[in-house]
Amino acid sequence: MMELSQKLAVLGRLEAYLSGKGTEEEQESLRLAKQRAFAHNGWFTPEFIDLALHNICKYYLAPGKLEAWVTQYPGFGRPASRKKVGIVAAGNIPLVGFHDWLTGFLSGHEIRIKLSSKDNMLLPHIFGKIAEWAPEAAQDTVVAEILKDCDAYIATGSNNSARYFNYYFAKYPHIIRRNRTSAAVLTGAESPEELGALADDVMLYFGLGCRNVTKVYVPEGYDFEPLLTALKKYDRLADHHKYKNNYDYNLALYLLNLSPYQTNGSLLLHENESLFSPLSVLHYGFYRNREELEAQLRENQDLQCLVAKDAIPFGQAQYPSLTDYADGVDTAAFLASL
């Protein structure tokens, strides 16, 4: 089994590789991997694959970050009893399962990971590179189609799949994640720069991530024009055929049902009570007391991120740190406790 110091060293090499600092041969290898991922899943555009890689390098693998993080968990990387940990990875945005794998890899346990069919190109490429640089790492991560005989499980999926996970993994230590989304609270006094940053929270990765804002809360009498203008920052997404199909479909529904909506030509705004909005749609609702609203939202089990002046800053929802654990459950502490 690799020592923690060896794993940190190989992850340092991974940071250089994913940042494009490798040899010409390595840069070409990464380019081909990204190309295959986009060909396999049209939602994984080169722009958003590069963004995911950039965020992993900057917020997870940057020198010093991993070392500072693992020191928060005494004994991390040196478990008294090495366990087999099964990970069911999501696939809604590129490399969304990387944090779970990274935590498992550094924990010292053996990781068995079932990849989403939507995101089964980039992670295996990363695993292959690590095994190439450190052959002994190959025994620490196994990609499996079926997760059997594991001692603990971390599973991410829909509300429906979460019910099955809870049933099958009930007798094992587990973390089960279900559908979540994010919301923003506006005051009406936001600057154009702040609204432009909010557009990132809404539109990055086409809005497919749990950290994407799918509903905004605004005061009564709010003027939507500045927000619609700011969201035009991502007009280019309407050129993507999959996204445009969703936009046209939802626009047709609102027209047929005589349902009021607003649009800037690439995104639909629709008043709706639900936090979850369809792709290409941003829900909105009105509030009277901002403090009461934010308190209620913080208690909402469906909410992943709250973007507001006194919460996550505008434009930062898609840039989680190592300690921004999905669903607020400390994955590293869970693995350290096994």
Measured between alpha carbons, how far is 331 from 70 in angstroms, rounded to an integer?
12
261 and 132 within one domain: no
Query: Residue 63's pLDDT is what?
Result: 84
- Domain presence at residue 250: yes
Q: What percent of the chain has pLDDT over 90?
A: 93
**Per-residue confidence (pLDDT) for residue 279, from 0 to 100:** 98
User: What digits encode the pLDDT tens for the residues 33-56?
Assistant: 999 999 999 999 999 999 999 999
Give me 73's structure tokens: 């968990």
Residues 15-32, mean pLDDT to the nearest whole number: 94
Does residue 1 surpass a pLDDT of 80?
no
Separation CA 13–CA 248 (nearest Å): 44
- How far apart, in whole angstroms, are the C-alpha atoms of residue 150 and residue 155? 12
Res. 182 pLDDT band, cuts 50 70 90: very high
* 147 close to 126: Cβ distance less than 8 angstroms: no
Same domain, 289 and 303: yes
Tally of domains within the chain: 2
Rounded to 10 deg, the angle between the 98-107 and 122-133 helix axes is: 30
175 shares its domain with 251:
no
Give the list of residues 6+ apart from residue 145 with CB closer than 8 angstroms, or none.
114
Task: Kindly state whether residues 103 and 67 are assigned to the same domain.
Answer: yes
pLDDT digits (tens, 9 = 90+) for 165-176: 988 899 999 999
Domain membership of residue 196 as a residue range: 181-307
pLDDT at position 162 is 87
120 with 248, same domain?
no
Mean pLDDT of 281-305: 96
Are 93 and 236 part of one and the same domain?
A: no
Clarify whether residues 97 and 233 are in a common domain: no
pLDDT at 22: 83
Examine the domain organization and report whether 34 and 116 are in the same domain.
yes
CATH number, domain of 241, equals: 3.40.309.10
Torsion of CA 323, 326, 327, 331, to 10 degrees: -70
| Residues 6 or more apart whose Cβ sits within 8 Å of residue 56 | 18, 95, 98
Q: Report the C-alpha dihedral over residues 249, 261, 184, 180, rounded to 10 degrees.
A: -30
What number is the average pLDDT over the span 293-313? Answer: 95
Task: Round the average pLDDT of the chain to a whole number and report it.
Answer: 96
Q: Evaluate if residue 16 carries a pLDDT over 80.
A: yes
The residue among 144, 179, 214 that closes a domain is 179
CA distance 161 to 166: 9
Quick check: is 292 in a domain? yes
DSSP run (H or E) holding 287:
strand 281-287
Tell me, yes or no, whether 221 and 75 share the same domain: no
Residue 23 burial by Cβ neighbours in a 10 Å radius (0-12, 13-18, 19+): exposed
CATH number, domain containing residue 53: 3.40.605.10
Q: Which two structure tokens, joined as six digits, stand for 7? A: 């794993």
Q: Is the pLDDT reported for residue 30 higher than 80?
A: yes
Rounded Cα–Cα distance for residues 21 and 13 (Å): 10
Q: Is residue 199 part of a domain?
A: yes
pLDDT on residue 75:
86
Identify whether residues 150 and 217 lie together within a single domain: no
Residue 157 lies in a domain: yes
Tell me: pLDDT of 140 over 80.
yes
In this structure, the answer to whether residues 146 and 11 fall within a common structural domain is yes
Distance in angstroms between the alpha carbons of the first and the last residue of the chain: 17
